[in-house]
Amino acid sequence: MNDLRKDSVTWAEIDEGSCEQRIDNFLCKHLKGVPKSHIYRILRSGEIRVNKKRVDQTYRLQLGDQVRIPPVRVAEQPPRDYVPALEFPILYEDDALLAIDKPCGVAVHGGSGVSFGVIEQLRSARPQAKFLELVHRLDRETSGVLLLAKKRSALTALHEQMRDGKTDKRYLTLAIGSWKNVKQHVKFPLHKFTRADGERRVMVREDGQESHTVFALQQSWAGYSLLEAQLKTGRTHQIRVHLAHLGFPIAGDDKYGDFARNKELAKQGLKRMFLHAYSIALVHPITGEALRLVAPLPKELEKFIAKLDVGIPSPLGRGLGRG
């Protein structure tokens, strides 16, 4: 890999996209290809200046700050893989916040064998956007409300709300089995691990992270239960693993579900996992307004529910009817 040398001092003026970001993180993004050890060395030596003053790596940049960047060697970047520009159905948008209805089958970001996801496609579609970051994540197989921040101040405020449990995320899911309780709190601790083939999974284990889901029965049929799942914590695959551990796997779940049953469900029209992030309530990070954003149940899931109403073979081997 060749090196390119920036032979002269450059100056960067901080805009809203970098405001409140730590100087070390800003430099890592600005000087792609420069080893982090070198970035910290030029910070310690005082070669990096903000408004003509020395700062340490914990300094948070402010709007209008002038950052002096000395000459450095930058590793030449390979050509960026093509990312198609794509917009997604918008549920809400203003200067600080974007909420979209993510389709099933689309990753939220590239990685783990996926070249690109929602965030990369949106950035490609909006080259003028100074800042666009995911506020949270959804599994590739999960559809529904996905939040993105258009300002760093909005991102940090929303992350704080989520850490403090001030957002309310709710999902709709179809579980295989006859759920009895109208409302049930589930608090199994969850442990993440990597399988021999490199795939990341989650299991219930005593030394796992504290996890809390509240399930509320919405509708039932013989052998199927439509549940609302309210997340009190936001662990990876939380709803899927909690339900599978209880013996009520999500219909169509190809990781923790009933694989034989999933094949039958696919023949009956359900060709995806029945898990949809239908609602999130939050306080607007800038205005303080209370917001509740809702993504309607996708048509393919509505159609499958309609088939349950009519009556298809149940996993218990008898016809379905309303519970």
Do residue 71 and residue 94 come from a single domain? no
Residue 80 forms part of a structural domain: no
Do residue 259 and residue 211 come from a single domain? yes
Do residue 65 and residue 97 come from a single domain? no
Q: Look at residue 16 in the predicted model and tell me its pLDDT.
A: 76
Q: Look at residue 78 in the predicted model and tell me its pLDDT.
A: 52
Residue 82 forms part of a structural domain: no
Do residue 244 and residue 181 come from a single domain? yes
Residue 296 forms part of a structural domain: yes
Do residue 134 and residue 50 come from a single domain? no
Do 250 and 275 meet the contact criterion of CB atoms below 8 Å apart? yes
**Domain final residue, candidates 75, 99, 117:** 75
Which residues does residue 216 pair with via DSSP β-bridges, in sequence order? 183, 228
Q: Give the integer Cα–Cα distance in Å for 35 and 28.
A: 8
Do residue 204 and residue 102 come from a single domain? yes
pTM above threshold 0.85? no
Do residue 96 and residue 53 come from a single domain? no
Residue 139: active-site member: yes
3-state secondary structure of 26: helix
Q: What is the DSSP string of 37-103?
A: HHHHHHHHHT-SEETTEE--TTPBP-TT-EEEE---EEEPPPPPPP-------EEEE-SSEEEEEEP
Do residue 67 and residue 176 come from a single domain? no
pLDDT tens for the chain, residues 1 to 323: 333 344 578 888 888 778 888 888 888 887 877 888 888 888 888 888 999 889 888 899 888 889 988 888 665 555 556 788 899 999 999 999 999 999 999 999 887 667 788 999 999 999 999 899 999 999 999 999 999 999 999 999 999 999 999 999 999 999 999 999 999 999 999 999 988 877 889 999 999 999 999 999 999 998 999 999 999 999 999 999 999 999 999 999 999 999 999 999 999 999 999 999 999 999 999 999 999 999 999 999 999 999 998 766 554 443 333 33
Residue 318 forms part of a structural domain: no
Counting the structural domains of the chain, the total is 2
Do residue 115 and residue 199 come from a single domain? yes
Do residue 190 and residue 284 come from a single domain? yes
For the chain, what percent of residues have pLDDT higher than 90? 63
Tell me how far the alpha carbon of residue 242 is from its chain's centroid.
Answer: 19
Residue 132 forms part of a structural domain: yes
34: CATH: 3.10.290.10
Residue 322 forms part of a structural domain: no
**Domain final residue, candidates 41, 75, 109:** 75
Of 139, 164, 207, 254, the active-site residue reads: 139
Q: Look at residue 113 in the predicted model and tell me its pLDDT.
A: 66
Q: Give the integer Cα–Cα distance in Å for 292 and 306.
A: 27
The token pair that represents 67 in the structure block: 């950052």
**Domain final residue, candidates 11, 43, 75:** 75
294: CATH: 3.30.2350.10
Q: Please name the amino acid found at residue 12.
A: A
List Cβ neighbours of 167 (8 Å cut-off, separation of 6 or more). Answer: 158, 161, 280, 281, 282
Helix (H) or strand (E) run with residue 232 in it: none
Residue 187 forms part of a structural domain: yes
Residue 244 forms part of a structural domain: yes
Q: Look at residue 2 in the predicted model and tell me its pLDDT.
A: 33
Q: Give the integer Cα–Cα distance in Å for 89 and 133.
A: 17
Do residue 138 and residue 44 come from a single domain? no
Do residue 138 and residue 223 come from a single domain? yes
Q: Please name the amino acid found at residue 110.
A: G
Question: What range defines the domain where residue 36 resides?
Answer: 3-75
